[in-house]
Amino acid sequence: MGSRIAVTRSSMPSFDEYTDEIRDLWESHWLTNAGAKHEKLRELLKEYLGVENIALFTNGHMAIELTLQALGLTEGEVITSPFTFVSTTHAIVRSGLTPVFCDIDPDDFTMNTSKIESLITDKTVAILPIHVYGNICRIEEIQDIANRHGLKVIYDAAHTFGETYKGRGIGSYGDVSCFSFHATKVYNTIEGGAACFKDPSLDKKLAQVRDFGIVDEEIISYVGPNAKMHEFSAAMGICNLRHVDDEIAKRGKVSERYRERLENVPGSRLSPVQKDVKPNHAYFPVVFDEALFGATRDEVFEALGKNGIGARKYFYPIITELDCYKGIYDPSETPEAQRISRRILTLPMYADLSLTDVDRICDIISGCRA
């Protein structure tokens, strides 16, 4: 057995680069509350992502949850996908809204736009689609539906940092697009997140809702949490932004080797290469068809684990099968999401993963075939 390979590994600048970036904090003693690092990162991200406005948060979850609240969406239904990390649904529920689950397209795992309109009722207030593994939703179709029905569109863009669609930054689509800067993502601020938005009036609302609802020292107009990004996270973000394009390029080489080794293996289906999308190679998912491959997803997962290789059943189970939502929703109403969740495995993916290790992973997977 070779050395252990984790499913992901956080990108970090050199120790010296980070300490140089935070050095002046010992002079200013300004550690939070939209300090110089926070404001610098905000401007850098606006330029990099190609967005008009951006608000930073302590994590991506709070970016979604507080966006819903800043938009005034406090009751009604939100159409979303059950094929996502639990944070997406929690943000809807914790905002007092009701999630309505739309099935996914089995090819790219994003929301099946042909099923959205049948779910719209007089209670529907928004659509919250998820870009999955870096695969982009059918943006034009979703926006057309939203326009015809007068609905807001909030994208969970946690998997798509740095991506463009038709030459535009992915964060510029919808009313709001929310990113996660968690340590496991392509780009990280240790923990963090952001909401990118078109309407400039949202800037003040988001600033208030993420800071206890404080308007000024004497006026608190909203019951809000503390969801501000602090200066040390912002400093990490400034450093990592300098290197993110190189990191994505390295991930691209890892993805290319996986495709060379697995694309033509019967029973292993890879994520599509989407037209008009500049990818970020955030994840490398594989769907295993037992009848054609000769082994189940779980058997592949176990074989990799026995050889010290971390893989992830991501997303499994789907949201409607989780204990906290069991009995409230019917998983069989989204059969494609349920089917894919039981067959999909995300393989190790990070910039410093060697091609030798990729080959070792692929050899173990191939060895599972009957």
User: Percentage of residues in the chain with pLDDT exceeding 90?
Assistant: 98
pLDDT at 1 over 80: no
Separation CA 80–CA 103 (nearest Å):
9
| pLDDT of res. 3 | 82
What is the average pLDDT score of the chain? 97
CATH architecture of the domain with residue range 15-239: 3-Layer(aba) Sandwich (3.40)
Homologous superfamily (CATH) of 244-367 is Aspartate Aminotransferase, domain 1 (3.90.1150.10)
pTM value is 0.97
pLDDT digits (tens, 9 = 90+) for 212-259: 999 998 999 889 999 999 999 999 999 999 999 999 999 999 999 999
pLDDT digits (tens, 9 = 90+) for 8-19: 999 999 999 999
User: What is the mean pLDDT of the segment spanning 81-110?
Assistant: 98
pLDDT digits (tens, 9 = 90+) for 293-307: 999 999 999 999 999
pLDDT at 370 over 80: no
User: What is the mean pLDDT of the segment spanning 151-157?
Assistant: 98
Which of 272, 182, 226 is closest to 66 using CA atoms?
226
Separation CA 370–CA 366 (nearest Å):
9
pLDDT digits (tens, 9 = 90+) for 37-74: 999 999 999 999 999 999 999 999 999 999 999 999 98
User: What is the mean pLDDT of the segment spanning 320-338?
Assistant: 96
Q: Which two tokens stand for residue 200?
A: 């400039």
| pLDDT of res. 2 | 65
Q: How many Cα atoms sit within 13 Å of 163 on the Cβ side?
A: 30
Domains 15-239 and 244-367 are alike in CATH topology: no
Separation CA 60–CA 57 (nearest Å):
7
Segments making up each domain of the chain, as ranges: 15-239, 244-367
